[in-house]
Amino acid sequence: MGGNAWLTRLMALTLVLPPALTLALPRAASLTPCADQYLLGLADPAQIVAVSAEAADPRHSLFATAARYPTTRGGGEELVTLRAEVVLTDRWMPLRTTERLGRFGIRVIQIPLPENWDDIAATTRAIAAELGRPEQGEARVAEMRARLERLAARRHAARPPLAAYFLPDGGSAGGDTFIDAVLQAAGTRNLAAELGLNGWGTFKLEQLALAAPELIVMGFFDQGGDTLRMAFARHPVFRRLLERLPAIAVPDRYWLCSGWFLAEAAEYIAERLPAMAGGR
């Protein structure tokens, strides 16, 4: 089922729930870092029974908050022991896992990957409703909208700087991606989108010389190490780009996935543009 259809069905079900069914908050757990962000940001602390095993990693965006709760690897027996009623996970969770948890009577909510602010708002409201916390969903959406409005009000450049976004494996993000939404909200133009890339993909390094980007925005470079995933980050052409152009390395925690918290990623970039522009 597509993301929009899922949201429509979920909101329709929420609207017809009898008032008595909305009073008891379901006991909830999360199985991935993205789901952790949604659960910890929307649920009442008393209804959280576990967060993902990754939340025990100090690099997790919500490590300090997540440390208050048990962790889970998503095993059915484990979640039954915790008496979880709702489990949040990502949309790419294997179907067999979803079916197995369903047999234990646990409702699995797979969070979609909304690519624009309106869909992020709809997803936030839908997940909050599933957790019995619609008012918290509205609060998060209002918080996101306020941040975006402040960013829009402070933009003053007649021609926003052209930003080349890179993942450590050389990947990039064009139009119709949440990265593009963040770059635009931050007050930049997305090079990949201007080159005609739609969705997630790559563009050739040779294109950079012709397009003449004014800055580099790096995402998910926090891992470091010598893995193949970081090979592009060590490429001589890319290293020369970093020597020649200003760069903004956005910490992973700001955009592990798409949610209301992406407005903070836009703020992070925007706050570094004035100083960077002065250095050009």
Residue among 165, 140, 142 nearest 261 (CA)? 140
Q: What is the pLDDT of residues 245-269, one digit of tens each?
A: 999 999 888 898 999 999 999 999 9
For residue 34, the number of C-alpha atoms closer than 13 Å in the C-beta half-sphere is 21
C-alpha 205/C-alpha 103 separation (Å) is 49
The tens digit of pLDDT for each residue in 144-168 reads 999 999 999 987 667 899 999 998 8
Structure tokens at 199: 């969705």
- pLDDT at 3 > cutoff 60: no
Report the C-alpha gap between 147 and 263 in whole angstroms.
Answer: 6
Residues 75-123 have pLDDT tens digits of: 888 999 999 999 999 887 777 777 888 888 899 999 999 999 999 999 9
CA angle 109, 112, 113 (to 5 degrees): 150
Give the whole-angstrom CA distance, residue 144 versus residue 147: 5
Rounded Cα gap, residues 36 and 47, in angstroms = 13
**Tokens standing for residue 78:** 């484990």
Mean pLDDT of the chain, nearest integer: 85
Query: How many angstroms separate the CA atoms of 98 and 74, rounded?
Result: 10
Q: What residues does 173 pair with on adjacent strands?
A: 200
Secondary structure (3-state) at 270? helix
Q: What pLDDT shows up at residue 7?
A: 53
Classify residue 210 by burial, with Cβ atoms within 10 Å: 0-12, 13-18, 19+: exposed
Prediction pTM value = 0.84
Per-residue confidence (pLDDT) for residue 72, from 0 to 100:
94
DSSP, res 254 = G
Domains of the chain: 3-146 (3.40.50.1980), 160-274 (3.40.50.1980)
Is the distance from CB of 89 to CB of 108 less than 8 angstroms?
A: yes
3-state class (DSSP) for residue 276: helix
Taking CA 67 as the corner, what is the angle to CA 39 and CA 102, rounded to the nearest 5 degrees? 40
pLDDT at 19 over 80: no
What pLDDT shows up at residue 174?
A: 95
Q: Which residue has the higher pLDDT, 275 or 134?
A: 134
Q: What pLDDT does 278 receive?
A: 45
Give the residue among 137, 178, 158 at the shortest CA–CA distance from 264. Answer: 178
